[in-house]
Amino acid sequence: MFEKILNLIFPNVCGFCERKDEDSLCKDCEYMLSKYELNRINDYRQDNHKYFDFLFCALKYENIVRNKIIAYKFGEKSYLYKTFVKIIIKNKKIYRFIKLYDIIIPVPMYKNKESVRGYNQSALVAREIAKVAGLEFQKKTLIKIKDTQVQSTLNKYSRINNIKNVFEIKNEEAVRNKKIVLLDDVYTTGSTVNECSKVLKQAGAKEILVITIAKD
């Protein structure tokens, strides 16, 4: 329903130049963004400090990319999710990799904050990727049970403590023995996605691929 309303209010536009574009990313902006692209899938299966197995960040969190993500999160530009999805799935390597997974779960927001913003920016992207790649979308399986300080205002050590024990699994059966894509907007220290991955692995998740729009 929310997506249908968005489509009625906002026509398909390229999120970077705002010109009408049926693919939500025009060729000129696609070329412009090539200098920000990160085309590597990082393998963390041998890293004892990481609970997720793989990490893919689509873009560098710099300049126009940073500005657009901030506008998406805080500037009521929810329609930008279409452009960010296009940027992720146009990478054939990551698209093929995503299709090996069972479920996609967005990093949850605390319910009061999501209510004020009107949407979870990670959930909009995750829902669309699920539709395109044929994954199951789960928004209510992983929840945030405590409010926290904004991670970007904290140093690395404080981020770890800030996010500790704030996530919970509502239905362990839904993730047991499943390969899961965990979707977030920006990867900085990885504290948030690592804590989410820890909870998912403790509930029996088989493998976790973290995907973010950008990496700081």
Specify the CATH architecture of the domain 2-215. Answer: 3-Layer(aba) Sandwich (3.40)
For 169, the 3-state DSSP assignment is strand
Residues 6+ positions from 14 with CB-CB distance below 8 Å: 20, 21, 23, 24, 25, 26, 29, 83
In this predicted structure, what is the pLDDT of residue 82?
Answer: 95
More confident residue, 2 or 51: 51
In this predicted structure, what is the pLDDT of residue 3?
Answer: 55
Residue 138 pLDDT exceeds 80: yes
In this predicted structure, what is the pLDDT of residue 89?
Answer: 95
Residue 9 pLDDT exceeds 70: no
Whole-angstrom distance, CA of residue 73 vs CA of residue 138: 21
pLDDT band at 119 (very low <50, low <70, confident <90, very high): very high
Q: How many other CB atoms sit within 10 Å of the CB of residue 61?
A: 20
* Domain range summary for the chain, segments of one domain joined by +: 2-215
Residue type, 33: L
Whole-angstrom distance, CA of residue 155 vs CA of residue 70: 19
Residues 6+ positions from 147 with CB-CB distance below 8 Å: 110, 112, 113
Q: How many CA atoms lie within 13 A of 66 on its CB side?
A: 8
Residue 198 pLDDT exceeds 70: yes
